[in-house]
Amino acid sequence: MSRPFRFGVNMLTLDTGPAWREKCRRAEELGYDVLLVPDHLGWPSPFPALVAAAEATERPRVGTFVLNAGFWNPALLAREVATTDALTGGRLELGLGTGYVKAEHDAAGLPFGTPGQRVHHLERTVTELDRLLGDPEHLPRAAQRPRPPLLIGGNGPRMLRLAARHAEIAAFTGGRQAPGKPEGTLELLPAEKVAASVAAYQEYAADRAEPAELNILVQQVLVTDDRRAAAREFAGHADGVDEEQALEVPTLLIGTPAQMADQLRERRERYGFSYITVLDPFLEAFAPVVEELKGS
């Protein structure tokens, strides 16, 4: 039996406090289930932004999508997580990843490390968070016990194994560093590559007592009456996918709202993706799809 859909919006920009709160209230009004904040220099600081989002709204959960583990000491992160969960009334979902932009670490005066070193630090962070937040003597105390739900995002084998062992939510980015492009420039993975990552994850997660929720981050929501023309235009300036692949790749939604809803139903059946995240520039464009799929 398929999980019901959930919908999140990743909030990328902050102008003023009132504007931030109004955007959060608008997302709630449109039916989004989770208000999310990423973790990049130059963008909003995740935890205060999430506290403000929770105070401005009543129903949605709030979450990090995703924290750059290299920015964080595990003990200090445990304090931030517990405080934020308490202040939001147990509405926090904690998303973690390794980080992928070396320039941000350089600007912060923090080591970047090899891919293996970054995954090792994330593994240690997850282990320490479980230990600290699961300790009944740890202060401050999180509202959710033993800790807030954990989302881990990534595609490599070690990341997939880590998510299978620890995460209540496994997030698939569907992107990779574009060859020959500036660091941090991602290209979309074709559908068969995403399918291979999901299959590998499912193999690693075969012994789980409870299946995890599977998340996909949708990079573009292209509303159109002509799917093929929009896919052709997208492929003309995108890296990694051609016109045919753009019609199938699960990190794109192309068509009318009804067609997009059908695409998400098919992708839930094919990949297991029931938790769908979009970026905040598409907050309004995606809302009719949320309305159509809500509760299904």
Question: Where does residue 69 rank: exposed (0-12), middle (13-18), buried (19+ CB within 10 A)?
Answer: buried
**The predicted structure's pLDDT at residue 257:** 98
Asked, for residue 1, whether it belongs to a domain, the answer is: no
Neighbours of 81 (CB within 10 A): 25
Which is nearest to 155 in space by CA: 124, 125, 186?
186
Which is nearest to 154 in space by CA: 176, 178, 171, 177?
171
Using CA atoms, how far apart are residues 292 and 296, in angstroms rounded to an integer? 9
Q: Which range among 165-179, 257-271, 277-291 shows the weakest confidence by mean pLDDT?
A: 165-179
Which is nearest to 53 in space by CA: 79, 35, 66, 69?
35
Region of 217 (left: φ > 0; alpha: ψ -120 to 50; beta: rest) is beta
**The predicted structure's pLDDT at residue 155:** 86
Provide the pLDDT confidence category of residue 163 given band limits of 50, 70 and 90: very high
Instruction: Express each pLDDT in 47-78 by its tens digit.
Output: 999 999 999 999 999 999 999 999 999 999 99
Instruction: Express each pLDDT in 69-128 by its tens digit.
Output: 999 999 999 999 999 999 999 999 999 999 989 999 999 999 999 999 999 999 999 999
Domain CATH number, residue 155: 3.20.20.30
Asked, for residue 158, whether it belongs to a domain, the answer is: yes
Asked, for residue 250, whether it belongs to a domain, the answer is: yes
Express as a percent the part of the chain with pLDDT over 70: 98
**The predicted structure's pLDDT at residue 237:** 84
Q: Which run of H or of E encompasses 93?
A: strand 92-97
Q: Model pTM? A: 0.96
Chain centroid to CA 221: 16
Question: Sign (positive/negative) of CA torsion 75, 77, 80, 81?
Answer: negative
Asked, for residue 252, whether it belongs to a domain, the answer is: yes
Question: How many structural domains are present in the chain?
Answer: 1
Average pLDDT over residues 165-194: 83
Average pLDDT over residues 207-235: 97
Between residues 89 and 185, the one the model is more confident about: 89
Using CA atoms, how far apart are residues 69 and 56, in angstroms rounded to an integer? 27
Asked, for residue 198, whether it belongs to a domain, the answer is: yes
Beta bridge partners of 218: 278
Judged against a pLDDT cut of 70, whether residue 184 lies above it is answered with no
Average pLDDT over residues 197-206: 97
Chain centroid to CA 280: 12
Instruction: Express each pLDDT in 5-53 by its tens digit.
Output: 999 999 999 999 999 999 999 999 999 999 999 999 999 999 999 999 9
Using CA atoms, how far apart are residues 66 and 252, in angstroms rounded to an integer? 20
Mean pLDDT for all residues in the chain: 95
Provide the pLDDT confidence category of residue 185 given band limits of 50, 70 and 90: low
Judged against a pLDDT cut of 80, whether residue 271 lies above it is answered with yes
Question: Where does residue 183 rank: exposed (0-12), middle (13-18), buried (19+ CB within 10 A)?
Answer: exposed
Q: What is the dihedral of CA 36, 215, 264, 294, to 10 degrees?
A: -50
Range of the structural domain that residue 128 is part of: 6-293
Asked, for residue 142, whether it belongs to a domain, the answer is: yes
Average pLDDT over residues 264-269: 98
Asked, for residue 23, whether it belongs to a domain, the answer is: yes
